[in-house]
Chain A
Amino acid sequence: MPTMNTMTSAPAEQFDDLDQQLRADVMGMWVFLATEMLLFGSLLTGFVIFRIQHAAVFADAASHLGLKLGSINTAILLTSGLTVALSEQAVSSGRRRSAFSLLLISIVLGVTFLCIKFYEWYIEYTEELMPVLGLPFRFKGEHDHVAELFFNFYYMMTGLHAVHMIAGLGVLMVILMQIARWSEPGRVTRQARIGGLYWHFVDVIWVFIFTLLYLLRS
């Protein structure tokens, strides 16, 4: 059903109305997310295959990750998902101030997530558990070359996720500016919906990364 906001601006010429345009935008975003699913799916599948082949060493390597920081970060990201969803609702019902505040909180939570992630990487760097760019790798345990494989997956998966987070934060900041201007409410409604879908998808990816990397440790 068209809301008061979506009726205040005109659709692009190829669409009959703004609702049709919103449905097309959402559909396009889902097609994009399907390609992202396969990108992360291939990485996660590769990890699972090696996890099955080297169960003991991968579990031992996983116990070197910070479960407390990882859990806090997961809670932060899930909370940002809530505030993004609430912000979408506020935008579509014309509550501009609420939408702005909620989206700002989401951005702060996203930045906090990245800061904690960078701090985790720094700890792993100081413990010489960062086998990238020729840095020394010293693993206190057997089969250190297999542990190195675990940490290669760890940096690849968390790094790729962080890149998506940064892109998502950029999208949220653009929407925040659009809400501040509020010149085209119909357009902001569509952007908030599509940007929200991307952000929630990044949450889903993190749930699986967290489970596979941090939780499977014995």
Chain B
Amino acid sequence: MSKALLFAWVGLLLLLAGSVLITALVPGPAYIGLNIGFAVLMAALIFTVFMKLRSADGLLRLFAVGALMWLGFFLLFSLADFLTR
């Protein structure tokens, strides 16, 4: 049994618990940024360990990063107006 997979799973559950606790305990809008940050960390753990991007070859990583980059452009251009008002 892979230790990396188990550590990733434990990390994911800790991040989940942290997110729920933040929602309950942290007042004001600061918790929104923390929750989004925790979600990004969880996604990064799944991408790198469960989806094996950590050990993937360069071309596959390029495809994965490309997909995230286009999504990033999409989010940035869609939200730029609303976030800068």
Contact = CB atoms under 8 A, between A and B. Distances in A.
Q: Taking chain A's interface residues, is the majority helix, strand, or loop, or is none over half, making it mixed?
A: helix
Interface residues of A, number: 42
Interface string B1-18: 110011011001100100
A216 B50 CA distance: 27
Interface of A: 23, 26-27, 30-31, 33-34, 37-38, 41-42, 45, 48-49, 52-53, 67, 71, 74-75, 78-79, 81-82, 84-86, 89, 196-197, 200-201, 203-204, 207-208, 210-211, 215-218
Contacts of A52: 79, 82-83
A81 B50 contact: yes
Nearest to A48: B79
Given A41-B74, A67-B20, A71-B20, A81 B46 contact: yes
A84 B2 CA distance: 12
Contacts of B59: 27
A127 B63 CA distance: 45
25 contacts: A26-B56, A30-B60, A30-B64, A30-B67, A31-B63, A33-B67, A37-B67, A38-B70, A41-B71, A45-B74, A45-B75, A52-B83, A67-B20, A71-B16, A78-B16, A78-B42, A85-B5, A197-B51, A203-B46, A204-B42, A211-B19, A211-B36, A215-B20, A216-B35, A217-B23
Contacts of B12: 78, 81
Given A45-B79, A211-B36, A215-B19, A27 B60 contact: yes
Interface in B27-61: 27, 31-32, 35-36, 38-39, 42-43, 46-47, 49-51, 56-57, 59-60
Contacts of B68: 37
Given A26-B56, A34-B63, 8 more contacts: A27-B59, A27-B63, A34-B70, A38-B74, A45-B78, A86-B2, A89-B5, A204-B43
Contacts of B83: 52
Contacts of A81: 9, 12, 46, 50
Contacts of B43: 204, 207-208
Nearest to B66: A34
A78 B49 CA distance: 13
| Most-contacted residue by chain B among A23, A38, A204 (CB, 10 A) | A204
**Residue of A30, A34, A217 with most chain B CB atoms under a 10 A cut-off:** A30
A71 B22 CA distance: 13
